[in-house]
Amino acid sequence: MLSQAVMTYLALRRATGFALRCEGFQLKSFAAFSEARAKRYVSSAIAIEWAGLARSVSQRARRLGTVIRFARYLRAEDERHEVPPAIFGVEKPPRPTPYILTPEQIRQLIDAASRSGYRTFRRPTYSTLFSLLACTGLRVSEARRLRYDDITPDGLVIRKTKFRKSRLVPLHETAQAGLERYLQQRRPYAPFDDHVFVSSRGKPLRLVDVDKAFRAVVKQIGLPHGLGRERPTPHSLRHAFTVRALQTCPDGRDAITQHMLALSTYLGHSKVAYTYWYLEAVPDLMRDIAERTEHFATGGRL
């Protein structure tokens, strides 16, 4: 039965670190849809019919893509399973161009955060949070979930975040000092909660709180939209960190490979391709690559 095959498939994928929450729900729905039509094996026609029930083309593409991966897994041992064609197009649209903040813009953002809103604990919270994102490249979700115990002499312990992986993020001595200054104010403010960053209500920060605070300081300093009309978000601080790290990459094929692998691990990327994406997403980096390639092609040495 397809329902049993779905459970086996999900167990295998989850054992390798994938959460598959939405995909699991979808595959169970697909299996029930197929079995209601007396289908014991994956049928392309049934899969397309099921995926077509979604409201938008992008949703249909994602649903069908989930079944395609499932069908490939099953077909490896039983050719009676059909692998549907991806008739609804690609599952994921191209990644948007990142908004890269300059060092001066980051300084303005942090300064504005330290003066934004009422004279409450909100000011040191967001100025410290944005500073930490800018100097470490953490995801906003990772910074929001930090606890006191995650701050160690060796750096920040980022526990089982995306893809259920944990990692250690070293801190520069100036970042350690800034974080400690904040914690001296933070500890007595909400003594019964051990989250590093809390709201003015003494509760863990919500993503909507961070977005709202970031938009306020962006408006305050008048940051423009990007060329593609992209707007700065808290995640832009992570983008800016990554680009700065890539710009410090040393010359030489082996050195570049080691640098990219180390940066990918540091950022918590599941694939190094996600780190390489910044090379094509940022015009300045593409221009540097073109210049070095031309230098090499005309007889220079990298």
At 107, is the secondary structure helix, strand, or coil? helix
For residue 195, the 8-state DSSP code is B
Q: Is 146:155 a contact under the CB 8 Å cutoff?
A: no
Q: Indicate which residues carry an active-site annotation.
A: 139, 162, 235, 238, 269, 278
| Residue 205: CA count within 13 A, CB half-sphere | 26
- Please count the other Cβ atoms lying within 10 Å of the Cβ belonging to residue 294: 10
Q: Is 217:116 a contact under the CB 8 Å cutoff?
A: yes
CA–CA distance, 236 with 248 (Å, rounded to integer): 19
- Please count the other Cβ atoms lying within 10 Å of the Cβ belonging to residue 285: 17
CA of residue 137 relative to chain centroid, distance: 11
CA–CA distance, 183 with 210 (Å, rounded to integer): 18
